[in-house]
Each structure stands twice: as C-alpha cells, then as structure tokens.
Chain A
C-alpha cells in the first residue's frame, strides 16, 4: 500500500517540503503555492514576482501516503474517524490558502456556479494537471465532480506482502484496499472544501471510489440561495 520511507523522525508531515525542489523525479508538478511555500525558506522566495516553484510530484505522493500512514497508524491508530478528521482539517487549511493564491489575478466570481467552475478547471489543473472530466448538478446545491483518472491515486497499489496471506478471500482484501484508499481521499476532500469555503461557499465534500482510478467528489452546499 505505502512505501516506507525513513519516516520515523517526521512528527509533522507538513515539513516534508524541506527536501530540495524537484530533485527526486523528472516528472514535475508546477506547484507555486502553499506546499511550495513550505519547501523554501522565506528569504529564498522571489519578492513581488510571479512565484513559479516546482515541487516533485513524487514528493507530493510520498507526503500524502506518509501523512495518512502517520495519522491512521500512529497518532490515532484506534480511532480512524479522528484520523480522517485531522487529515481533512489539514487539507482544509491547504485549500484555504491555495484558493487565496490561485484567485489572485482573476475577476471576482459573480455566483456560486462560477466559483465551482473555477474549482473544476483552473484549480483542478493547478493541483492535478488536468481538468475535471464531468460536472453535474441538481441545481439545489449538490455538485458531482468526476475525475476519470485521479492523479493522486493513479500510482497507488495494494501491498502484495499483505499481512493476511492466509486469508485469501478476495472480498475482504478488496474491502481493505478500498478502506485504505478512502483514507487517502480525505486530504483532497479537505482541499476542495477549504477552497470553496474561502470563496464564500460553505459545504461538505465527500469522495466516492467505486470505480478506480475514477474518483467522484460530491459536494453539498449549505446555502439559502439553493
């Protein structure tokens, strides 16, 4: 499931960004933002200039897996609910800050749909290098965002040396994989929720992974307008 990088010393997963930018892989993700911010000491950032910093995509993948592993196996090993909520809260803060930056040079959104469209197009391509594949709404405050190849799950696989070799019943294994997978989705859910609420749309976001690697995000808005 997850790669064990020498993680024993990382108490706060957010500090992973200390590693030199884009040194690990040649697949680069343009990441001029919060995560990139953590990656660099203040004096190194370009002042008053468009910040284009790159963070290796595999760094982000490792960060995500490590964060999930940390919270669900170490800090809150017995309380998966609590771990999920903590991971979601981290995502919320990241999304909050990212939305501040990515909406910097654009006109104000006139309504909620425009903000959602921004999330689907620009925000998504900044984070995942692609746009959302399908957006549905019931015009009553529920939006369904579908990504047919969710990037953060694309390179994920179930650990073949699983601890329960004797128990080969596939439904259980599948169930376990799905459960582990869904832990990794709280972070992106939090990001989306943070971004939306910073844009003035309080909501809840949940993810559905019944057809991997496709990923479906549901967001319910709480608003009087709908």
Chain B
C-alpha cells in the first residue's frame, strides 16, 4: 500500500505532498520524504553507482527505512517524485507504471494556465487524480 506521495520542485521546494494513512503519522512520512531528497541528489551526482540506470528518470528504490520503502523519480526539469510504500515485495514494473501516470497527472496540473510555476499545486482535480492512481497501485499485477 502506498502511504505517501510527494512532488518536490527543482529547488527542493515541496509542490505537493499527501499521505494516505489513517494514523496520525503525517509528520513522520514528511520526514522520510525529506530524507530521501539527499539520496536523490546522491544518485544524480554519482551516476556510476546506478550503473545501467544511467540517466533514466526512474531512480528505483532509494532506501528502505523501518517498514517503508522509498522510491524516487526525477524528471528532465529536475522535479522529483517520491513514493513511500509499505509493501515489501513491490514489482518494479508497478512502480514504474505508477510514476508514469503520476508524472502525466503532474504535467496536466502544471499545464493549467492558472497554475503559477514553482508554487504548490492546489488543484483539487490533481488531488483526486493522484488518489485514484494511488488506489489502483498494484492492482494491475494482481489480475
């Protein structure tokens, strides 16, 4: 299950962050997302370590922490997408697919002429669309 997703701008400014848990652990999840930004920077600045994934937008598993796994995605425009999941055996293809759809949703949201670049995404349509994508995560592989 996905517990948190985030969009982070190119100056590490949060553009959108949303947790999907019942419990009151939003702060902890935000902290995890915050920590993951360093890992993203490290991946990008030392591309040798990532080997075959050179210059791919999908950064793969950033790091496991406690019960969570954190995945990252970095676009050409230096916008980062972070995914925090509680599933232990997540298929790589599922995560890729999730990020692809998430990115498409983001692009549509920022294409809104009333959106100010670099500011938080407040669009309700975007929030609904993201929660749809989050809910459908992993369902495709089950079938």
Contacts and interface: CB of A to CB of B under 8 A. Distances in A.
Contacts of A34: 111, 113
A103 B107 CA distance: 10
Contact of A198 (B77, B101, B105, B112): B77
A5 to B, nearest CB: 21
A115 B55 CA distance: 13
Interface of B: 10, 55-57, 74-78, 100-101, 103-105, 107-108, 110-113, 117, 125, 129, 133
B74 A104 contact: no
B55 A110 contact: yes
Interface residues of A, number: 27
Contacts of A105: 100
B117 A107 contact: no
Contact of B55 (A42, A97, A107): A107
Contacts of A101: 107, 111
Nearest to B116: A93
Contacts of A48: 101, 104-105, 133
17 contacts: A14-B113, A33-B111, A34-B113, A37-B108, A45-B108, A48-B104, A48-B133, A96-B117, A100-B75, A103-B75, A104-B107, A105-B100, A107-B56, A108-B76, A110-B55, A198-B77, A200-B10
